[in-house]
Structures are given as C-alpha cells and as structure tokens.
C-alpha cells in the first residue's frame, strides 16, 4: 500500500484551528469558556512557567509558577474584597500539584496568621500560628493540627510547652501560671492534666501569688 503524505492544507478546518490554538511559550491573556483569564507561559497547551490567573466568579487571583496546568512552585493567591473592591493576600509561598506545599504564609479572614510548612493544603511540619486572641503557638503540626512538640504562649502570660496530639496537650509537658508564679510539670492525656508536680516559679514577680509558698506536691488523677 503506497504511503499517502497528508499536508496541512488537506486537513479539516477544525483540525487546522486546533493546531493553531495549541498554546506554547509566552502568550498574552487567554480567556476560558467560564470567563477566567490567564496571562503567562504555556507548554503543550497547559499553563507552565510563570503566569497570572484571574477567576471571574470569585475575583480571586494567583500570580506565580505553574507546572502542567497546576499551581506549582512559588506563588501568591489573593482574594477580592467585595465591599472595598481591593485585593487581600491570602497565601504566599510554595505550591505543589495545585495545593499549598512547602513553606508559606497564610492570612486568615480575622487577624490570625500562620507561617510555616504545608503539605497537601494542610499545616504540616514546623510552623508558627498567631491567633486572633493574641495566643501564639510555635512547633510541630500534622494534618492541620498541633502534633508533636510545641509551645503555646497565651496572651495573659501563661504558657505550655510539651507534646501534642491531634491538637491537644498529650504526653509530658510544663504549664506556667504567670499570675500566681507557679509551674506545673506533668503528664497530659487528650488535653487533661493527669499527673504532675506544682512548684513556685517566678513567684516574686507574679502579680497575684499565693499567700504562702507551696511545698512540692505530686498531684495525680486516675486515667
């Protein structure tokens, strides 16, 4: 059977248009059917390299790196505030396969802020969380919860340092009562202190210390 050479001229018009529309390299703004717009680099018809995407429905914008059509590398995601029509930065940092991954900073709707490591869109690894009420947690995370070793400093001056599991104090730890100048060293289970020793610690500087210094007392609850 003889080989038939097909030229582009003999191809259907729809196929020719498809070949022409194949996006590769640097392009100007391209609009999708949904109205979203992307300005940046392409490879094999997919967003690849550096580019900016604007979502029409939400008004959100992403500016950063892409790989094979997904946010991947370093980038910043911002949302449009409906009342002021201004943009507010939500996340700045690493991405992988379209999700927050690596080191990054996330700004919550209130004044809370997280800076640290991410995995699959969740806080995982080491990170520091600034809560709206003034508390600050610094330590390990897993699947969006305090997990591992960490310290939380409360806005009233109290602090806890020790191990955590699924967002709760769990295992060995120390809790400092700044108002009384007392330190509790003990063992926690699911956020509840079960067994430990309470001693004076910084009592002379405490604003409301107990009338008399306390002896070392071991206090235990049944598990």
- 163 - beta bridge partners? 149
pLDDT score recorded for residue 220: 60
Average pLDDT over residues 100-119: 95
Among the four given CATH numbers 2.60.40, 1.10.10, 1.20.1050, 2.20.110, the one describing domain 21-92: 2.20.110
Fold of 111-205: 2.20.110
Sequence-separated contacts (24+) of 135-142 with Cβ below 8 Å: 139/164, 140/164, 141/116, 141/117
Flag the least confident range among 14-18, 25-29, 94-98, 136-140: 14-18
How does pLDDT run across 142-168, given as a tens digit for each residue?
999 999 999 999 999 999 999 999 999
Mean pLDDT over all residues of the chain?
84
Stated length of the chain = 223
One-character DSSP codes across the chain: -PPPPPPGGGS-HHHHHHHHH---EEEEEEE-TTS-EEEEEEETTEEEEEEEEE-TTT--EEEEEEETTEEEEEEEEEEE-TTT--EEEEEEEEEETTEEEEEEEEE-SSS-EEEEEEETTEEEEEEEEE-TTS-EEEEEEETTEEEEEEEEE-TTS-EEEEEEETTEEEEEEEEEETTTTEEEEEEEETTEEEEEEEEESSGGG-SS--SSPPPPEEEE---
Higher pLDDT, 206 or 198: 198
| CA separation for the pair 77, 93 (Å, rounded) | 9
Tokens 């396969």 sit at which residue? Answer: 97
Q: Rounded to two decimals, what is the model's pTM?
A: 0.77
């Amino acid at each position: 059977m003889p080989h038939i050479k097909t030229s582009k001229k003999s191809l259907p018009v729809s196929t020719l248009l498809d070949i022409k529309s194949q996006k590769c390299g640097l392009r100007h703004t391209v609009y999708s059917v949904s109205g979203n717009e992307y300005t940046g680099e392409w490879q094999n018809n997919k967003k690849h390299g550096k580019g900016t995407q604007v979502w029409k429905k939400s008004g959100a914008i992403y500016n950063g790196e892409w790989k094979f059509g997904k946010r991947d590398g370093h980038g910043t995601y911002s949302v449009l505030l409906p009342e002021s029509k201004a943009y507010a930065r939500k996340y700045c940092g690493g991405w992988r396969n379209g999700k927050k991954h690596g080191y990054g900073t996330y700004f919550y709707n209130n004044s809370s802020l997280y800076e640290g490591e991410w995995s699959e869109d969740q806080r995982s690894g080491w990170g520091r969380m600034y809560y709206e009420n003034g508390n600050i947690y610094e330590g390990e995370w897993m699947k969006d919860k305090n997990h591992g070793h960490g310290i939380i400093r409360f806005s009233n001056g109290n602090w806890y340092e020790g191990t955590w599991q699924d967002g709760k104090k769990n295992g060995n730890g120390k809790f400092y009562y700044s108002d009384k100048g007392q330190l509790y060293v003990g063992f926690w289970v699911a956020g509840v202190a079960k067994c430990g020793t309470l001693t004076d610690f910084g009592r002379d500087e405490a604003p409301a210390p107990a009338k008399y210094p306390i002896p070392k007392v071991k206090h235990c609850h049944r598990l």
